[in-house]
Amino acid sequence: MLWTDPFAPFAGQVNRSVFSPAADVTVSEGDLVLTMDLPGLTAEDLEIELVGGYLSVRGERKRPEVAEGSRLAHLERTFGRFERRIKLPDGIDPDKVAASMDNGVLSLIVPKPERMVPRTISIGSGSERQLETSAA
């Protein structure tokens, strides 16, 4: 009996490009957080650099080998080398960037430079200091 691929009607709808991990960037008052989905990869599979104002994450998702006597009948998952880059604000301290990997999800925490952290300015009374005005 000939095996029919149950996904065949959907095969044309799938983007079969190289692996490009999905990424989210969250911005808070004190930092930027980059979260990237890297299923099947470990920390040892990745290279993370801060160069020229860009945070770069590189790696490779390798295609698993098919057991002897088996053949690949349908393929939707993508594999290959990838690089994701995000432009960071000037003044980032590379020594303060933190990275963690949990269940195939990479999280990078990038503290904002001091100049970008919001500061609260208190409002004083008029008797504390007078603004100088010039008569025209």
Residue-wise pLDDT for 4-17, tens only, equals 444 555 444 445 56
Q: Tell me the pTM.
A: 0.69
Instruction: Say how far apart CA 18 and CA 80 lie, in whole Å.
Output: 6
Host domain of residue 88: 18-62+74-115
Q: Which residues are within 8 A (CB) of 52 and not within 5 positions of it... i.e. 6 or more apart?
A: none
Low-confidence ranges of the chain (pLDDT < 50): 1-6, 10-14
pLDDT at 30: 86
Q: Is residue 79 part of a domain?
A: yes
Residue 103: per-residue pLDDT = 93
- In the chain, the number of structural domains is 1
Q: How many angstroms separate the most distant Cα atoms in the chain? A: 99
**What was the pLDDT predicted at 132?**
64
The closest alpha carbon to 37, from 17, 27, 23, 49, belongs to 23
Q: In CATH, what number is assigned to the domain containing residue 79?
A: 2.60.40.790
2 assigned to some structural domain: no
pLDDT of residue 130: 60
